[in-house]
Amino acid sequence: KSTRLLEKQQRIDSSAVSYPEDIPIAFDSGKGATVRDADGNTFIDMFAGIGVLNVGHSNPYVLEAVHEQTDKFVHTVDFPTEARLDLIEKLDEIAPAGLRGNNRVVFGGPTGSDAIEASIKLAKYNTEGTGLVAFRGAYHGATSGAMSLTGNKKFKGDYSPLLPDVVHAPYPNTVEMGKGPQEAVDHCLEEVKAIFEDPYGGLANPAGIFVEPIQGEGGVVTPPKGFLKGLRDIADDNDVPLVFDEIQSGLGRSGKWWASEWYGVTPDVMTSAKALGGTGFPLSATIYHEDLDTWGSGDHAGTYRGHVVGMRAGTRAIEYIQEHDLLAHARDLGQYIRGRLSEVAEDNPRIVDVRGKGLFIGAEFVDAEGNPDGEAADALQQYCFERGVLVWKAGRHGNILRLLPPLVLTHDLAETALDVITDGIEAVTA
Ligand code: PMP
């Protein structure tokens, strides 16, 4: 059945649909951290719709609020609703300390890219600048502004001209750079400083620095300590907002509400989407310091800026994470998973790094010569699929195993999944 549905999709759907052909699964239903395919096979879901389903598939606690809401009404534009105000208050409650009690939220449409566009406009509007600093390896979305910030030609190659005034600095990926943590941080910060200060390479009129506090698509790259703090200082020195894209890393994924909290650095602006709409409803938001709240009414407009069902689901999902202490669970389980992967890596030179925070986890594969090995990650993905475990990949060469399981993943299921993944690593690197 799955194969038939896949064939039909290929026949009638857009050629742009992105689908790993080696893992022919058509979804029938999902529950918590498992999914069933159209043929009745059950899988452990270790990617959760690319980091969306933090409270699991079809979380009943969230859906209860959704049903109550859909029985009442579904769409209102910006008119006040309890759903909207509750989520604004909930987001303030979990905001990073430096933004708590002094932030504003502008809700976006369904995708993270939408929140990125809003934050670009907000930064430009407040600074009257045009130039944006972003990072190599970054992924910020598929709309024109977000593509401009994305640091990967694969996603933007044929669409020039994009925003004209964007400069990409290196992100401290220690493995790729072959540098130690401090050396990598120093090098990257020097480059960012030069963008502001060097008349040869600089931006004439900078408007902001955009960065993922942990790079997701770029390969689950956790920057060494000092990098985000250094960016904070550069942003302050040059009077531009520091914007953290927490679309993939936020809402508990890293074992804290926001990945920035691992580094103790507060942004001026942060974007959220993916897990924001609860158990998979589309919603995005840009959360920013109240000093930047200078837009006039209607200056950033849109029909779906905040969808009432997504907002209800989002508030409930945050409550669910709080009530079940899922941040602590994500930290503990993440440590267990990285431990299991690190054990394999110790004796296997084909894995050169195991990294991440909470349940945002990456493992980097190289071939026998030490070159990035995307084929090994492909083979592992297929091996796991055939044994009932869904995993994802990331990175410039597709050579990073990326795990983004729902935060509700139990220890037992994690153990089963890791048995498959670690056996798979041995099999594909033998
Ligand atoms: N920023 C980051 C860090 C992301 O990971 C993504 C999506 N992978 C986006 C922005 C874009 O979000 P969306 O695909 O919902 O537009």
**Which candidate, 219, 279, 283, 223, places its Cα nearest to that of 247?**
283
To test ligand 1's pocket by mutation, which of 18, 50, 113 has the most ligand atoms within 8 angstroms of CB?
Answer: 113
- Would you state the pLDDT for residue 160? 87
Tell me if 118 sits within 8 A of 250, measured CB to CB. Answer: no
Sequential DSSP letters for 149-190: H---GGGTTTS-S--SSEEEEPP--HHHHT--HHHHHHHHHH
Q: Chunk the chain into consecutive blocks of 10 residues (it has 430) and report each block's average pLDDT, rounded to whole numbers.
A: 91 87 89 97 96 98 98 92 97 98 95 98 98 98 97 88 94 96 98 92 90 98 98 98 98 98 98 97 98 95 91 98 98 98 98 98 97 97 97 96 98 98 97
To test ligand 1's pocket by mutation, which of 140, 243, 393 has the most ligand atoms within 8 angstroms of CB?
Answer: 140
What is the ipTM, given to two decimal places?
Answer: 0.99
Between the CA of 121 and the centroid of ligand 1 the distance, in Å, is: 17
Nearest CA residue ID for atom 7, ligand 1: 141
pTM of the model: 0.98
Tell me if 162 sits within 8 A of 156, measured CB to CB. Answer: yes
Cα 45 from Cα 407, distance rounded (Å): 11
Residues belonging to the chain:
430
Between the CA of 146 and the centroid of ligand 1 the distance, in Å, is: 9
Cα 339 from Cα 153, distance rounded (Å): 34
Phi and psi angles of residue 121, each rounded to the nearest 5 degrees, phi first: -65, -40
Cα 204 from Cα 198, distance rounded (Å): 10
- Residue 138 CB less than 6 A away from ligand 1: no
**Which candidate, 133, 164, 144, 155, places its Cα nearest to that of 218?**
155
How many angstroms separate the Cα of 289 from the Cα of each of 97, 146, 188, 413?
A: 12, 21, 26, 40
146 C-beta neighbours (distance < 10 Å), count: 30
- Would you state the pLDDT for residue 215? 98
- Would you state the pLDDT for residue 204? 83
Between the CA of 346 and the centroid of ligand 1 the distance, in Å, is: 33
To test ligand 1's pocket by mutation, which of 52, 53, 114, 139 has the most ligand atoms within 8 angstroms of CB?
Answer: 139
Tell me if 43 sits within 8 A of 34, measured CB to CB. Answer: yes
- Residue 150 CB less than 6 A away from ligand 1: no
Tokens representing 7? 């064939």
Between the CA of 273 and the centroid of ligand 1 the distance, in Å, is: 8
